[in-house]
Structure 1
Amino acid sequence: MVWTETAPGVFQEDFSGVEKIYRNMSTAFSHIEKEHWGIHCVCRIHLGPSFRNRHIVSALREAWIALMTEYPGLSVVPNGLSKVFVVPDVQAADKWADQTFFVESVGNADSIIANSKPRDLPGLFYLPCSSEIVFLSQHWRTDAIGTSMLLDRFFSIVGQPQDLALSQGRRPEVEKISPSLEDAAGSPENEIPELQEFARQYIDNFHMKAVNAGGLPYRGDSATLPAKTSHQDMVLAKDSTSALVASCKRRNISVSAAIHGALAHTFFSFASPEDQLVDYTTVTAVNMRTYLPWPYNSKAHACQTYVASITPTVQKTSDFCESALALTQEYKTWHTEKFSQSLRWIYRYHAERLFAPRPPGLPPSKPPSGVTLSSLGVIEQYLAGDYGDALQVDKFRFGVSMMTRQILLYVWTFRGQLTLSVNYNTAYHEDGMARDVLSRIVATLKKELELELEAVRL
C-alpha cells in the first residue's frame, strides 16, 4: 500500500488488514466511551545534575515534538478505515503538542489510564508529583516493543539537547511513516493459491484452538458491560530473578516457557472437578520485528504494530518440565518464511472470522475468559534506562486497557527484576482474583524449579 496525496501536504492510505483488526477492536466499545487494547506505558524518571538549569516541562514538550518529527506516525489520525497524515509546519506541530502533551498535577498513572477515553492521537502525560511519564497510544499505531523503543528515543532526546537542536526546523516526511506489517514482511498483494490455502488453514486452526481454549470464572453474564481497566503486578527480587534464570538455563528451557507452563498449571487449578478440559491453549503474542528485513527490524520503525499471535497448547497430562521444553521449542520454530509471505491473507481471513455477523437464531457463544500471554523479554534491549547524567528510568510498566472478560499477562525484566503483570476489567474480575492468578503462577515456579522466590506485590 502507498500513501496518496489528496491535497497539498495531505496524504491518505487505507488501513492494512492487521491495522483494521486493531482499529476495529479499539472502537468496539466506543459507544460507552471506552477503548479496548489501548496501549499504556508508565516510566518513573530520576533527573540528573545536567537538569539543574533546565525547565523540565519545556524540555519534555520540546522532546515530544522532536519525537513526532522523527516518527510522523505519531501524528497520523484515522478516518474511517483509512489513515490521514497532514505534513505539519511549526504551528501545526505546536498545536499537535497542545492536543497530546499534558501535565497532571493531581491524580496518578492508574487513574489516567483507567479514565482515558478513545482518542485519535497518542498522549504523553507528565506527573510532577511522582516523576512519572505516562504514554498512551492506539494499538494500531504501535505495540509493546515499539512503545519501548519510542520512549527510549524520547528520553535520549530529553537528555541530549543537541539532538533537540538538530530536529528543530525539520518537517516530518510521509516517507518516514512505517509500512504495515504485511508490507514490511513483503507479503504479496496478488492472489497466490498456495499462500491463500496456508492462510486459511492457519486461521481455521487458530480460531478452533482459541475459541475452545476454555476460560476462568468471571462475574456477571454476557450482558454485563465493562467497567474500569485495572492491573495487579508481582515483582521478583533481583536475587530471585537471577535464580529463576539460572534454573531455567540448567533445564534448557526459556524463562518465557517456564512462566507459560506455570500459567497453564494455574489455569488447570481453577478448573472445576466436572470440567473435562484436557489441555490448555492460549493466544500468545510474538515479536515479528526479529523476522523482518532491515530496516523494519530496527528502532527507525518503532511507530508501527509489528506483532503476531500463536496458540501453543499445554497438555493437562504433561509434567511441568516436559511442557516447558515443548514450549521452548515452539517459540524457536513457529515462524516460517511462508508465514511471513501469507500475512496479508492471514489477516484478511482473520478479520472475516472475527467480525462476521452472527447468523439469526444462533444463541450467543460463551464469552472467552482465558488468560493471554505476552512476554516482552529484557526491556533494556529496547529502552536503555540510563541517559548519561541527564536522567534515568528506574521504573517501567506496560499494559493495555481490557474491556472483555479475558485477562492479559505481561512478563518482562527491567533493572534485573522480573515482573508479572495482569491486566483485566473490574466488571468481570475482582482484584483478589487477579492477585490469586499471580500467586499461583509464582507458587508453581517455586515448586517445579525448586526455588525460593521472593516476590513483592505492587
Structure 2
Amino acid sequence: MPWKKVDLRRYERRLDNTEKLLKRVADLFTEYNREHWAVNVLARLQFGEFEEDQLIDALRIAWIQTRHHHPFIAATLRGDNHVYVVPDQREIDAWVSESFFVHKNETLQHFMRTARSAKYSSFHFFPASSEILMRTHHWQIDGMGAIHLLNRFLEIFSAAEALPTFGDEWRRLPPGHAEAAPLPTKLSDETQEAAQRMAQESPFGGKPSIGLEMTPREPGGTRCSMLVFDSVTLGTIVKSCKEAGFSVASAIHAAMIVATQEMAAKSHPTTNFTSVAFYDHRAHLQSPYNDPRAWPMGCWMLGLPFSLPHADFVTHARALQKIYKLPLALDQCAVLKYYDIYMEKLVEALGQPPPPDAPPLTQPQLSSLGVLDGKVQHSYSGKQPVSVEHIEPCLDQMTTATLVFQWSWRGRSFINVCSNENYYEGEYVEKYLARVRVNLLTGLKLKDSI
C-alpha cells in the first residue's frame, strides 16, 4: 500500500489493517466528539532564557519543522485513505492554527479530561507548568512511536534551524506495517484458518476475560492514575526479577493479573485473564524503517492475544516471560506469516454485533515501554537548550477497559492506569494500583514497606 500521487500536491495511501482497526474502534465514539485511543505523550521541561512570547514562537517553529521532517503528523483521512497535501504558506498557516495550541488558563490534566476529536494530530503548550503535550491519532502512531516523536521534536527545537521549504517532504511519509516489515498479505487456506483462530482468541474477537467492576453509563473523560517506585525500590525489584528469571514487565503484568483476580467483577462468567501482549516491532522492520529517529511515525506495533487461567504471581510471571520473549523476526515467528490477515479478521469481527450475553471488556491491558532513558534524552544542548524533567504517556480511554502504561525514567518506575472517569471511580483505581504494588512486592518476596 504505497503512497500515490493523486493530484498536483496531493498524496494518498490506504489504511492498512492495523490502522483500520484503530480507526474503527475510534469511530464507535464519534457521537461523543471524543477520540478513543488518542495517543498522548507529555513532557515537563526546563527551557533556557526566554520571554514567554519568544518561547511560544520557538515552539511553533519547531512544530512546523517537525512536520517537515515527519509529515505524517499533518495527514488527514478521507474514508479509508490517508491524505497528505504538500502545503503552500497559506496552508501551513491554516494547519498551525488547527494543530498548535497554547493553554494559558488551563491545566494539562483538565485538557486531558475534556479533549475532543480533532482533524489533525496536535501540539499543546501549558506555560504555567512548563509542560508540552503531543497528541496523535492512534492510526498514525503507537505508544513507542510517540516517545520517539517527542525525542525528535526536542532535537529539532534545540537545534533551532531556519524554517524549512516544503515540497519534497512527502517522500518521508511512512508506509503501512505490512509494507515496512514486510508481512505477507496473501495466504493459503491453512494460514487463513490460523489467522481466524487467533482472532477468535483475542478479546477484540469475542474471547471473554475476567475484569474489574465497572459502572455502566455514558462515557466521560480520561483519568490517569499513577503508581511510582523510587530508585531504591526499583533497584530492588530489578535485582529480584533477575534472580527469579523474569523481566520487570513480566512481573508487573503478573501483579496486574493477580490484582484483577482479587477484584474481578462477579458478573464475568470465566476464570481466565484474556488480553493482548504488545510488542514494538521497529527493530525488525526492513531498512530504512528500522531507524526510529528517521521514522518515528507509523503504527508499527504487534498485538498478540493470550489467555491465562487463574494462578499465583510466579506462575503468571513465568508464563508472561515466555510470551514477551517471543522472537519477532519474520523467519522465527510463525504468527507473522498471517499477522496482517489476523488484523483484517479483527476488523471484520468489530463490524459484527457482540453476543447478547457478552460481558463488557474491563480487563486492564498492559503496554510496557521499558527503559526510556536514551530514547528521550535528559537534556538537549543546542542553540536552544532544554532539559526534560518528566515524561508520561497516556491514552484517551472511552471504553470500559483500562490501558496501563509501564516505563522507567531517571531511575524511577511508573505505572499509569488510563481509564474513563465515568466507568471507574478514582478511589477504585487507586485501590487496584495498591493491590498491584502489594502483589508485585510480595510475589518477589520483598517487604511491602520498601
- TM-score norm. by structure 2 comes to 0.92
Q: Structure 2 counterpart of 1:428, which letter? A: Y
CA distance in structure 2 between the aligned counterparts of 1:72 and 1:102, rounded to whole angstroms: 18
- Per-residue CA deviation, residues 273-323 of structure 1 (Å, 9 max, x unaligned), is 897744322223221223222222222221111112123333323x32232
CA-CA distance at 1:22 after TM superposition: 0.8
Q: What is residue 23 of structure 1 aligned with on the other side?
A: 23
CA distance in structure 2 between the aligned counterparts of 1:273 and 1:100, rounded to whole angstroms: 44
1:205 pairs, out of 201, 210, 230, with 201
Instruction: Specify whether residues 201 and 60 from structure 1 end up closer, same or farther in structure 2 by C-alpha distance, changes over 3 A only.
Output: same
Greater Cα shift, 260-269 or 54-63: 54-63
1:372 pairs, out of 357, 365, 373, with 365
CA distance in structure 2 between the aligned counterparts of 1:454 and 1:58, rounded to whole angstroms: 48
Q: What is residue 116 of structure 1 aligned with on the other side?
A: 115
CA distance in structure 1 between the aligned counterparts of 2:63 and 2:351, rounded to whole angstroms: 36
Q: Structure 1 counterpart of 2:310, which letter? A: K
Q: Secondary structure at the match of 1:40?
A: strand
Q: What is residue 307 of structure 2 aligned with on the other side?
A: 313
Report the number of matched residues: 444
2:295 aligned with 1:304, yes or no?
no
CA-CA distance at 1:84 after TM superposition: 0.9
Q: Structure 1 counterpart of 2:261, which letter? A: F
Instruction: Specify whether residues 95 and 385 from structure 1 end up closer, same or farther in structure 2 by C-alpha distance, changes over 3 A only.
Output: farther
CA distance in structure 1 between the aligned counterparts of 2:259 and 2:368, rounded to whole angstroms: 17
- Is the CA contact (8 Å cut-off) linking 1:65 and 1:94 kept in structure 2? no
1:211-290 correspondence to structure 2 within 5 Å = 211-220=207-216, 224-271=217-264, 277-290=270-283
Greater Cα shift, 443-452 or 410-419: 443-452
2:182 pairs, out of 186, 202, 220, with 186
2:349 aligned with 1:353, yes or no?
yes
Q: What is residue 135 of structure 1 aligned with on the other side?
A: 134
2:417 aligned with 1:422, yes or no?
yes
Q: What is residue 400 of structure 1 aligned with on the other side?
A: 395
1:338 pairs, out of 334, 337, 344, with 334
Q: Secondary structure at the match of 1:380?
A: coil
Q: Which runs of 5+ in 2 are unaligned?
A: none
Q: Structure 2 counterpart of 1:115, which letter? A: T
CA distance in structure 2 between the aligned counterparts of 1:345 and 1:52, rounded to whole angstroms: 53
CA-CA distance at 1:210 after TM superposition: 6.1
CA distance in structure 2 between the aligned counterparts of 1:343 and 1:177, rounded to whole angstroms: 23
1:433 pairs, out of 413, 428, 433, with 428
CA-CA distance at 1:198 after TM superposition: 2.7
Q: What is residue 60 of structure 2 aligned with on the other side?
A: 61
Q: What is residue 40 of structure 1 aligned with on the other side?
A: 40
Instruction: Specify whether residues 397 and 453 from structure 1 end up closer, same or farther in structure 2 by C-alpha distance, changes over 3 A only.
Output: farther
Cα RMSD over matched residues? 2.3
CA distance in structure 2 between the aligned counterparts of 1:122 and 1:270, rounded to whole angstroms: 36
CA distance in structure 2 between the aligned counterparts of 1:104 and 1:270, rounded to whole angstroms: 38
Q: Structure 2 counterpart of 1:310, which letter? A: L
CA distance in structure 1 between the aligned counterparts of 2:188 and 2:150, rounded to whole angstroms: 39
CA-CA distance at 1:326 after TM superposition: 2.2
Q: What is residue 328 of structure 1 aligned with on the other side?
A: 321
Instruction: Specify whether residues 245 and 48 from structure 1 end up closer, same or farther in structure 2 by C-alpha distance, changes over 3 A only.
Output: farther
Q: Secondary structure at the match of 1:312?
A: strand
Instruction: Specify whether residues 447 and 139 from structure 1 end up closer, same or farther in structure 2 by C-alpha distance, changes over 3 A only.
Output: same
CA distance in structure 2 between the aligned counterparts of 1:274 and 1:118, rounded to whole angstroms: 33
- Is the CA contact (8 Å cut-off) linking 2:208 and 2:358 kept in structure 1? no
Instruction: Specify whether residues 250 and 189 from structure 1 end up closer, same or farther in structure 2 by C-alpha distance, changes over 3 A only.
Output: closer
1:445 pairs, out of 419, 432, 440, with 440
Greater Cα shift, 287-296 or 412-421: 287-296
CA distance in structure 2 between the aligned counterparts of 1:181 and 1:432, rounded to whole angstroms: 39
Q: Structure 2 counterpart of 1:55, which letter? A: Q
CA-CA distance at 1:403 after TM superposition: 0.9
CA-CA distance at 1:95 after TM superposition: 2.5
CA distance in structure 2 between the aligned counterparts of 1:207 and 1:216, rounded to whole angstroms: 15
Q: Structure 1 counterpart of 2:337, which letter? A: Q
CA-CA distance at 1:272 after TM superposition: 6.6
CA distance in structure 2 between the aligned counterparts of 1:227 and 1:272, rounded to whole angstroms: 21
Instruction: Specify whether residues 315 and 146 from structure 1 end up closer, same or farther in structure 2 by C-alpha distance, changes over 3 A only.
Output: same
- TM-score norm. by structure 1 comes to 0.91
- Is the CA contact (8 Å cut-off) linking 2:205 and 2:350 kept in structure 1? no
- Is the CA contact (8 Å cut-off) linking 1:124 and 1:133 kept in structure 2? yes
Q: Secondary structure at the match of 1:257?
A: helix
- Per-residue CA deviation, residues 407-443 of structure 1 (Å, 9 max, x unaligned), is 1111110111100110111111000011011100001
CA distance in structure 2 between the aligned counterparts of 1:365 and 1:239, rounded to whole angstroms: 44
2:101 aligned with 1:87, yes or no?
no
CA distance in structure 1 between the aligned counterparts of 2:434 and 2:78, rounded to whole angstroms: 44
Q: Which runs of 5+ in 1 are unaligned?
A: none
2:164 aligned with 1:171, yes or no?
no
CA distance in structure 2 between the aligned counterparts of 1:41 and 1:64, rounded to whole angstroms: 15
CA-CA distance at 1:53 after TM superposition: 11
2:12 aligned with 1:12, yes or no?
yes
CA distance in structure 2 between the aligned counterparts of 1:437 and 1:444, rounded to whole angstroms: 11
Q: Secondary structure at the match of 2:273?
A: strand
Greater Cα shift, 322-331 or 270-279: 270-279
Instruction: Specify whether residues 53 and 396 from structure 1 end up closer, same or farther in structure 2 by C-alpha distance, changes over 3 A only.
Output: closer
Greater Cα shift, 24-33 or 279-288: 279-288
CA distance in structure 2 between the aligned counterparts of 1:425 and 1:438, rounded to whole angstroms: 15
- Per-residue CA deviation, residues 128-168 of structure 1 (Å, 9 max, x unaligned), is 1000001111100111111111110111111112xx23x62
- Per-residue CA deviation, residues 6-52 of structure 1 (Å, 9 max, x unaligned), is 21011122211111111111121111211111111110001136x58
CA distance in structure 2 between the aligned counterparts of 1:3 and 1:22, rounded to whole angstroms: 20
